[in-house]
Amino acid sequence: MGIIVPAVIPTSRKDLEEKLSQLSGVCEEVQIDIVDGVFAGPPSWPYSTDPNEPEQMLSDGELLPYAGEFTFEIDLMSADPEGAAGAWIGLGASRLTVHSESTRYIPRFLSSTHSTYGHDAEFTPGLLALGISIGIETDLALIEPHLKKIDYVQFMGIRKIGHMGEPFDTRVLAKIALFRKRYPTIEIQVDGGVTLENAPKLLDAGVKRLVVGSALWKAPDLGSRYQEFNELTERHGLYE
């Protein structure tokens, strides 16, 4: 069965808290999109207000809002993922996605993150999953050297990343099919443009996690729409 993960692009810390309050009691996992305004734009919180706020929260001993209720995935759309990742992990992220196109230093980022926070760190074994995201127009060859260092691959279902409401790009279906043929055991998730209409095709293609943004937030009733997505996973989310 597939998993539906609501996506949040916060404009401020207050906005994040308000959106999480709307998801309270609806789901258990949330993806927070962090957009730096350099690699992708427009900037989201904290880059839209104070880029140092996560480090300050960490220094103050805080966690992400609703940390006891949700598990968090950070989708790090940053030109400096290595410099930004530590604060989000410290604030409670249990999944961290880095974009393959964001920096030339992906191997160093993956190695340093594993050694400090991940599988190689004896004090946090298994508590952090690392994923790599690939854009709709990026060749699979860019991520293939890194697959032994990651836990999942996120395929972007849209061409322009960084904000919600972009149309779904059907080219991602062929890309997923090719990847799954080559690497049948690696977990796949899709982010961007996911709707009730295209979710069955994605689940039938072997996608395990669907990250859903505007299709939830623009629904008349967020909770009911989330349940509709969950019902789809029950019918279409079985795969080899």
Which has the closest alpha carbon to 78: 135, 25, 35, 109? 35
List residues bridging with 35 in a β-sheet.
77
Residues 116, 130 contacting (CB under 8 angstroms): no
Distance in angstroms (rounded) separating the CA atoms of residues 4 and 32: 14
pLDDT for 149 beyond 60? yes
Kindly report the pTM of this predicted structure: 0.94
Q: Span 6-35, mean pLDDT?
A: 97
Distance in angstroms (rounded) separating the CA atoms of residues 100 and 233: 28
CB contact set of 90 (below 8 Å; sequence gap of 6+): 58
pLDDT tens per residue across span 58-85: 999 999 999 999 999 999 999 999 999 9
203 C-beta neighbours (distance < 10 Å), count: 23
The tokens of 233 are what? Answer: 């996973």
Binned at pLDDT 50, 70 and 90, residue 118 comes out as: low
Q: List phi, psi (to 5°) of 228.
A: -60, -40
Which amino acid is present at 144? E
Which has the closest alpha carbon to 78: 48, 59, 101? 101
Distance in angstroms (rounded) separating the CA atoms of residues 4 and 30: 9
Q: Span 28-53, mean pLDDT?
A: 96
Backbone dihedral region of 179: left (phi > 0), alpha (psi from -120 to 50 degrees) or beta?
alpha
* Percent of the chain at pLDDT exceeding 90: 87
Classify residue 59 as exposed, middle or buried by CB count within 10 Å of its CB (0-12, 13-18, 19+). exposed
Distance in angstroms (rounded) separating the CA atoms of residues 201 and 168: 12
Domains of the chain by range and CATH?
Answer: 3-236 (3.20.20.70)
Residues 132, 143 contacting (CB under 8 angstroms): yes
119 C-beta neighbours (distance < 10 Å), count: 17
CB contact set of 64 (below 8 Å; sequence gap of 6+): 16, 32, 72, 91, 92, 93
